[in-house]
Amino acid sequence: MPLDHDIAARLSRPITIRSIEAIAIALPLAKPMKMAGVEIRTADNLLVRIESADGTVGWGESASAPNMTGDTVPAMVAAVRDHIAPMLIGKDARGRAAFTRKMAHALHGNTGARSAVETALADLVGRTLGVTFADLYGGAVRDSVEPMWLVGNPTAAEDIAEAKAKTREGYAFFKLKVGVKPVEQEIETALAMRQALGPAVTLCADANCGFDYSRAARYLAGVDAAGIAFLEQPLATENLAGLARLARTSPIPLGADEGIHSLADIEAHANAGAGGLSLKLIKLGGPAATLAGAMLAAHRGLSINLAAKVSESSLGSAATLNIACLVPSADWGVSLTQVYLAEDIAKPALRLENGRVTPPAGPGLGLEVDEKAVARFTVK
């Protein structure tokens, strides 16, 4: 059957990249967040804005993560401005898959910068061709996901009050941030959370490398009655021997997050006895690499958590959400992090309905970026 004339015309026309901008932004968090000893008040992120010759614009976002990817905002800006943009300006954005590969060869590491550029290219191509982000990457296998809420207050009473308020909004999956307080207090918090929230909610915990072996072992034994689904990244990233030892006796599956940056890391953690892992676009280097990681994880029988970094706006979170709808399984939940921001930069904001979040409809990421808001949060 011949293609519809409009579609054929759109597909055959080059999408010439006219400009690529790397924009440093600082988005205020709704409240400061503490993770393994570090308190953060703003989300310091990179935005990538790619405009084609016909004026269509595609956007991508990556959070900085000095202690996870090594990416700082100035380094991501320089990577895009000085190394990636000169490779792509004047090229046809329909070559985005080849560019993604070329970027990975030309620029070792720099996974945050590369992820934001790949996302912006896909958004641009999707908008131009009238195709959704999910369809560009092979098509969704689920139309919505159950997001999780991160809890990490100074006291158990505050954690419980916050989680109860969130259950009323429809959240039923909570991640406790641990590895910060004395371990006995963290065990008591987990037990109190389970008692207060009842058996229907899913609880998991994330130590962000904050335990040593003995504290991790004490935590795992102590929270048995709390029904914790998994403990994420209990030990330092390089301590795979400790992970293997811990996994042999742990009553709870162990996850990896900070330790996962490549397919080789996924293999190594599967071999060390991890039960699952957290995939982030900024760690793997973009949507395509994250999908490849998810396929390998599923093949190795690992559970999968898809996560944006605290905090990405609805832009970065929508990219994660779309990929979460494509992976074989997202059984360890999905972290969408625009909810921790005081203000967003894209519309429509991702919303929870009946306990689930659906990707915005429309071509590309389906979002309109508010360029005035971007200007307000831009860091010069």
310 makes contact with Mg ion (CB under 5 A): no
* Shortest distance in whole angstroms from residue 292 CB to Mg ion: 20
Q: Considering beta carbons, is residue 44 or 232 the nearer one to Mg ion? A: 232
Asked if 44 interacts with Mg ion (CB under 5 A), we say: no
Say which residues have a Cβ less than 8 Å from residue 249's Cβ, sequence separation at least 6.
217
Of the two residues 80 and 223, which places its CB atom closer to Mg ion in the complex?
223
Number of residues in contact with Mg ion, rule: CB under 5 A?
Answer: 3
Least spacing, CB of residue 337 vs Mg ion, in Å: 11
Tell the smallest beta-carbon distance from residue 164 to Mg ion (Å): 23
- Cα–Cα distance, 184 to 289 (Å, whole number): 39
Closer to Mg ion by Cβ: residue 71 or 257: 257
Tell the smallest beta-carbon distance from residue 232 to Mg ion (Å). 5
Residue facing Mg ion at closest CB distance = 257
Q: Determine how many CB atoms are found less than 10 A away from the CB of residue 9.
A: 10
Per CB under 5 A, 265 contacts Mg ion: no
Q: Which stretch binds Mg ion (CB under 5 A): 143-151, 154-162, 199-207, 351-359?
A: 199-207
Is residue 312 a contact point for Mg ion (CB under 5 A)?
Answer: no
Interface with Mg ion includes 205 (CB under 5 A)? no
Structure-token pair, residue 278: 């957290």
Min CB(361)–Mg ion separation in Å: 30
Q: Give the DSSP per-residue string, 236-276.
A: -TT-HHHHHHHHHH-SS-EEESTT-SSHHHHHHHHHTT--E
Which one, 146 or 257, has the nearer CB to Mg ion? Answer: 257
Which two structure tokens, joined as six digits, stand for 282?
């900024």
232 exposed, middle or buried (CB, 10 Å; 0-12, 13-18, 19+)? buried
Residue 257 lies near Mg ion (rule: CB under 5 A): yes
Please classify residue 358 by burial: count the beta carbons closer than 10 Å to its beta carbon, then call 0-12 exposed, 13-18 middle and 19+ buried: middle
Neighbours of 321 (CB within 10 A): 26
Quick check: 206 binds Mg ion (CB under 5 A)? Answer: yes
> For residues 214-243, which are near Mg ion according to CB under 5 A?
232
CA distance 38 to 159: 18
Distances (CA, A) of 207 to 235, 288, 326: 8, 28, 27
- Which residue ranges make up the site for Mg ion (CB under 5 A)? 206, 232, 257
